[in-house]
Amino acid sequence: MSQFLHTKYADLRPYIPGEQPQDRKYIKLNANETSMPPSSEVLKALSNPLIRGMGKYADPHCHALRQAIGEYYNVPEEQVFVGNGSDEVLGFCFMSFFSETSRICFPDITYGFYEVYANAFHLDAQAIPLREDFSIDVEPYVRTDRHVVLANPNAPTGMVLPVQAIERIAAACPERIVVVDEAYVDYGNASCVPLVARYPNLVVVQTYSKSRNLAGARIGFAIASPEVVSDMMKIKCAFNPFNMSAMALSVGIAAIRDTEYLKWCTRRIIENREYTKTRLERMGFYATDSHTNFLFVHHPALDAEVYYRALKAAGILTRHYAVPRIRDFLRITVGTRAEMDAVLEATEKILRCQGRHAS
C-alpha cells in the first residue's frame, strides 16, 4: 500500500475472480464462462468499417444498443442502461442510489460482488441467511425496509425464486430499490423485466457474459423505469461517459438479435447440465436444483476441497469457496458434452482412489 491510498479504503476487500493459472492448459469450469463461440453475427459485426471508424468516440448514450436490447425485451430505449459488464452496471446502480447511510440486504450466500460493493461504498449491509436447503426465504425481504439485492437464479446455489416472489418484495415497499441480478435467467427461467412497468423501484440487471458466450466482450445491462435509467446515465456521464467501446456496442447489437443461437446454446447447456447431474447423482453426489449453467454439488464421502484439488490435478478448474455453510460444496460450470465427460471420468477416478484410501 502506498502512503496515498485513501484511509477509507484501508479495509477494502476486492473481489477475487476465478483463478486463471497459466502453467498448463485447463478445462476451465470455474467462472461460469463457456468455450462455445459467440454468435457468428458477432464476427460479421466486427468488420472493417467498424475498425476504421474507431478513430472517433462511440455514442456515449449507446442509443443503438439500448434500442436493440429494448426490442428484445419489448421496452423503450429509455428503460435500458448498458455498461461494461453487469458488474459495472451494478456498480453504477450502487453509486446512483446508495450512500454511506444506506441500508441494504442480500442473502448470506450469493454473488460475492454485492459484499465487495457494499464494503467499497461503506454501506450498512445485512446478510440474510438462506434456509438450510439453500432456498431463499422471501419473508424477511418482504418485511425489511432495507434496499434489496438478489441474484435470481442465485449463485453459487443455482436455485431460483418465482417471479411472483420478487413481485411481493418489490410491491411491499415502493420506497426502496430492489435489484434483481438475472445473470442466469436465460437458462430456462422467467425474467422479472415485465414487472418493471408496474414497479418503478425494480432494477433488473443482465449480462452477455454467460448465455451469450461473451464474457470477454464486457457487456451488461439494466432494465428499469425511465427515471431510474436516466439517473444512472447521469452518474455514468459523471464518471466515464464513453464506458462502452465501439466494439462492445457493435457486438452487443449483433448478439442480442441472434435469438436462435441463444436458444440453441442455452438448450445445449441445460441438456449437458441435466446429463452431468444425473451421472453425478448416480455416483452418490447431491446437487442443488440448478437453473443455471453450473452445478453446485456435494459428496458425503469426498471433501470438496480435496475434490477441487484432484480435478485441478486432472486439468479441470472448478470453484471451491472456503467459507462457512458451503465449504462442503463444489461449483462446476456446465460446458460442452466433451468437457462434462472429462469431469465425469475424472470424478470416477477420484472416487475410486478415495475409496481405496478409506478402506
Ligand X SMILES: *Cc1c(COP(=O)(O)O)cnc(C)c1O
Pick between residue 16 and residue 358 the one whose CB is nearest to ligand X. Answer: 16
Give the chain's radius of gyration (CA, Å): 21
Report if residue 150 touches ligand X, rule: CB under 6 A.
no
Q: Which residue among 95, 172, 215, 283 contacts ligand X (CB under 6 A)?
A: 215
**What residues have CB less than 8 Å from 107, skipping those under 6 apart?**
127, 128, 129, 130, 136, 150, 154
Among 82-90, 162-170, 240-248, 310-318, the segment contacting ligand X (CB under 6 A): 82-90
- Placement of cell 460450470 in the chain: 333
85 forms part of the interface with ligand X (CB under 6 A): yes
Applying CB under 6 A, among 181, 223, 249, 342 the residue interacting with ligand X is 181
Number of residues that bind ligand X (CB under 6 A): 13
Q: How far apart are CA 208 and CA 65, in angstroms?
A: 13
Least Å distance, CB 107 to ligand X, is: 11
What is the smallest separation between the CB atom of 293 and ligand X, expressed in angstroms? 9
- Over the window 248 to 287, marking each residue x when it contacts ligand X by CB under 6 A and - when it does not, the resulting string is ----------------------------------------
Q: Is 243 in the site for ligand X (CB under 6 A)?
A: no
3-state secondary structure 246-277: HHHHHHHHHHHHCHHHHHHHHHHHHHHHHHHH
The whole-angstrom separation of Cα 102 and Cα 125 is 8
x/- letters, 103..132, toward ligand X (CB under 6 A):
--------x---------------------
Does the protein bind ligand X through residue 77 (CB under 6 A)? no
Q: Stretches 17-25, 79-87, 136-144, 272-280: which one binds ligand X (CB under 6 A)?
A: 79-87
Question: How do 319-320 and 330-333 pair as beta strands?
Answer: antiparallel
Q: Given the DSSP bridges, would you call strands 202-207 and 178-181 parallel, antiparallel or unpaired?
A: parallel
Q: Which is nearer to ligand X, 179 or 304 (CB)?
A: 179
CB of 92 to ligand X, least distance (A): 12
155 touching ligand X, by CB under 6 A:
yes
Instruction: Please choose, from the candidates 113, 154, 147, the residue with its C-alpha nearest in 3D space to the C-alpha of residue 130.
Output: 154
27-66 mask for ligand X (x: CB under 6 A)?
A: -----x----------------------------------
- How far apart, in whole angstroms, are the C-alpha atoms of residue 158 and residue 331? 10
Q: Which of 107, 220, 252, 335 binds ligand X (CB under 6 A)?
A: 220
Q: How far is the CB of 36 from ligand X (least distance, A)?
A: 16
Q: Is 86 in the site for ligand X (CB under 6 A)?
A: yes
Measured CA to CA, the distance from residue 337 to residue 324 in angstroms comes to 32
Give the span between the Cα atoms of 23 and 53, in whole angstroms. 38
For position 92 contacting ligand X by CB under 6 A, the verdict is no
Beta bridge partners of 141: none
Q: What's the CA dihedral at 277, 281, 282, 284 to 10 degrees?
A: 150
Number of neighbours of residue 348 by Cβ within 10 angstroms: 12
Within 192-211, the residues that bind ligand X by CB under 6 A are 207, 209
Which residues in this chain contact ligand X in the complex, by CB under 6 A? Answer: 32, 85-87, 111, 151, 155, 181, 183, 207, 209, 215, 220
